Amino acid sequence: MNIEGLKFGVIGGGIGGVAAALALRQRGAQVTVFEQAAELTEVGAGLQISENGMVVLRALNVVGETHEAGIRSYGTLLRDYRAGRSISEIPAPAAGPTYYYHRADLLGLLHKQALREGVEFRLGARVSRVHKHPSEAEVVLGDGTRLRVGCAIAADGGRSEIRVGLNGPEAPEFTHQVAWRATIPWARRDQKPCAVLTMGPGRHVVTYPLRDHTLMNIVAIEERSDWKEEGWRLRGEPEDLRARFFDFGGLVGEILGQVQEPHIWALFLRPVAEHWQNGRVALLGDAAHPTLPFMAQGACLALEDAWVLARSFDEQSGVTQALAAYETRRRPRAKRVVDAAGANARNFHLRGPMRLAAQMALLAIGPRLSRKYEWIYAYDATV
């Protein structure tokens, strides 16, 4: 299908939404991104883009071979919580290296390329609902403005209202896990930077460098039941964070001691959506498949979605057929990755004898562990 001149409305100006807008625009579509925020910003935090996401960024001409905004990872170090004792090391995936990005930097690269290609952005535009019509979709803004497009793409996050319209209301399941996120200034440079996963009973901390080693990114996960707010922008108290991870020693203890402005949110399970599209409206990214952070694949899945969605229009004869093909191709892959992330959650928080036995096993198999997930990293949505 030739989509030259076909109008698309993309709801949500995050990484997945802008990537989808760019992929569609590069095929000649007229694309408008509706973002409710007054400016394109992200909470100051890092993310990991493994090779399955990097291939899409390269195909979109967002990054080149120098990866100037990202830091190449040389693997993952596994450590015990008490004094940072080394447990094992997982090498970089055979498919290709992972890169560490500040979310705002990666979004900035996508936004810059999208503007260069001619994507239109409407900021401060909250979409209240989307209606399907026989040959188009109607996007209704909060101020009552109505716009007709040939196809609408909902990339509006895990609590998407458009997802509810396609699937009905859902009751998310609280995982009894709470995440803390922060960045701190950092001045130490490692010639072969790695993510460090420090594991303790009922808790773990992941750290890795950002922005040419000038920042350290921190994600700390704990098991608890007294905090059930989901919002990414909720502020936590640094002394509370330190009290909850008081017995984490070594370098991670030093890092936690420097945190000044943490954010906190509860982790909820939502299923992969049963219905991704209705012939004129389609879900993308977290709106279709919210995932827990334990495989670091949320952004990568959204990038995969963006490419497959756009390519489906190349391969099919109409909008309805393209959206159906997109859902058929993406849903099994997304579900398998989401399930893998959910299974990983319990592996990081073992207690007592089970924790010690797991450490012994990791010592033996750690160097081969990345092979277990090579099906994730070696996936290439662009071929």
Each residue of 296-348: pLDDT tens digit? 999 999 999 999 999 999 999 999 999 999 999 999 999 999 999 988 776 66
- The span from the CA of 243 to the CA of 16, in Å, is 36
Q: What is the pLDDT of residue 127?
A: 97
DSSP H or E segment with residue 108: helix 103-117
Q: How far apart are the first and last CA of the chain?
A: 18
Contact 349, 202 (CB under 8 A): yes
Amino acid identity, residue 128?
A: S
User: How confident is the model over 5-15, as a mean pLDDT?
Assistant: 97
Contacts of 126 (CB under 8 A, 6+ apart): 34, 36, 141, 142
Overall CATH class of domain 7-71+99-171+270-346 = alpha beta
Determine contact, residues 193/213, Cβ cutoff 8 Å. Answer: yes
Which whole number is the average pLDDT over 185-200? 94
Give the pLDDT band (50/70/90) at residue 45.
confident
CA torsion sign, 143 to 302 to 67 to 213?
A: positive
More confident position, 350 or 205 = 205
| Half-sphere exposure in the Cβ direction for 302 (13 Å, CA) | 31
Mean of pLDDT over the chain? 92
Neighbouring residues of 116: CB distance < 8 A, sequence distance ≥ 6: none
* pLDDT band, residue 65 (cuts 50/70/90): confident
- Assess whether pLDDT exceeds 80 at residue 358: no
How sure is the predictor about 169, in pLDDT bands with cuts at 50, 70 and 90? very high
pLDDT band at 42 (very low <50, low <70, confident <90, very high): low
Q: Please name the amino acid found at residue 187.
A: A
Helix-strand-coil split of the chain, %, nearest 5: 35, 30, 35
How many Cβ atoms are within 10 Å of 89's Cβ, its own excluded?
A: 17
> Mean pLDDT, to the nearest integer, of 220-245?
91
Which residue's entry shows tokens 């000044």? Answer: 260
From CA 26, how far away is CA 244, in angstroms rounded? 48
Residue at 274: amino acid letter: E
Q: Which residues pair with 123 in a beta bridge?
A: 35
Name, in order, each residue with C-beta under 8 angstroms of 378's C-beta and a sequence gap of 6 or more. Answer: 51, 52, 93, 94, 95
Handedness of CA 296, 193, 219, 107 (dihedral sign): negative
Report domain 173-269+349-372's class.
Answer: alpha beta
pLDDT of residue 356: 60
% of residues, the chain, pLDDT over 70: 91
Q: Write down the pLDDT at residue 72.
A: 96
Q: What angle do CA 281, 283, 287 make, to 5 degrees?
A: 145
Query: Residue 179: its pLDDT value, please?
Result: 95
Question: Which residue is listed with tokens 């939404």?
Answer: 17
Boundaries of every domain in the chain:
7-71+99-171+270-346, 173-269+349-372
Instruction: Flag whether pLDDT at 94 surpasses 90.
Output: yes
Q: Where residue 229 falls among pLDDT bands split at 50, 70, 90?
A: confident
CA 71/CA 85 separation, integer angstroms: 25
Q: How far is CA 367 from the centre of its chain?
A: 26
- Looking at residue 363, its pLDDT comes to 55
pLDDT on residue 44: 60
Query: What average pLDDT score do residues 136-147 get?
Result: 96
Residue 355 scores a pLDDT above 60? no
CB-based contact 25:114 (threshold 8 Å): yes
Asked if residue 366 has pLDDT above 90, the reply is no
Query: For 109, which DSSP code?
Result: H
**Overall average pLDDT of the 245-258 stretch:** 97
8 Å CB contact between 205 and 234? no
> Does pLDDT of 50 surpass 70?
yes
